[in-house]
A = this chain, B = another copy of it.
Amino acid sequence: MTRTDEKVRYLPESQGEDLTPVSAASGVENVLRMLEGRWKLVILFHLFGGKVLRFSDLERAIPAISQKMLIQQLRQMEADGIVRRIVHHQVPPKVEYRLTDWGQSLCPALDALLKWAASRGAFEDVPTSGDG
């Protein structure tokens, strides 16, 4: 059983940079920090697909989040360059949120993580029980 061995690259090959285990780990860690907390990922997955949502749409889509927390999470994602806030100067003013192109392009990488998690059962040297 050779499984996925041929498809899998075993070392990061990021743009000819000289990555050491430490610099690679710290690069991934920076990304994880941007996604930390339950809400940012939920917001991301609501906005993937080029969706443009008003604040009230997001509130409706994520009823468990408080208004204050939603504002805070969106601000952080905006500061990180993932979310774009678009203000339409009209009366009353309309504010919409969408992902930046960069934020949008995170989708395949997160998809790869989901696929990796889902592939666990296909590997024979992994115990089947995931929880412990």
A interface residues (Cβ-Cβ under 8 A, vs B) = 3-5, 8-15, 17, 19-22, 24-32, 35-36, 38, 41-42, 44-46, 48-50, 61, 79-81, 84, 100-102, 104-120, 122-127, 130, 132
Q: Which residues of the partner chain B approach A100 to less than 8 Å between Cβ atoms?
A: 123, 125-126
Closest to A20 in B: B45
Q: Could you tell me the distance in whole angstroms from the C-beta of A115 to the nearest C-beta in chain B?
A: 6
A21 with B45: CB separation less than 8 A: yes
A81–B127 CB distance below 8 A: yes
Residues of B within 8 A of A29 (CB): 38, 41
Known: A12-B45, A13-B111, A81-B130. 16 other contacts (CB 8 A): A5-B101, A9-B108, A10-B48, A10-B107, A11-B107, A21-B46, A22-B42, A22-B45, A26-B38, A27-B113, A28-B114, A101-B126, A105-B119, A109-B115, A109-B116, A113-B113
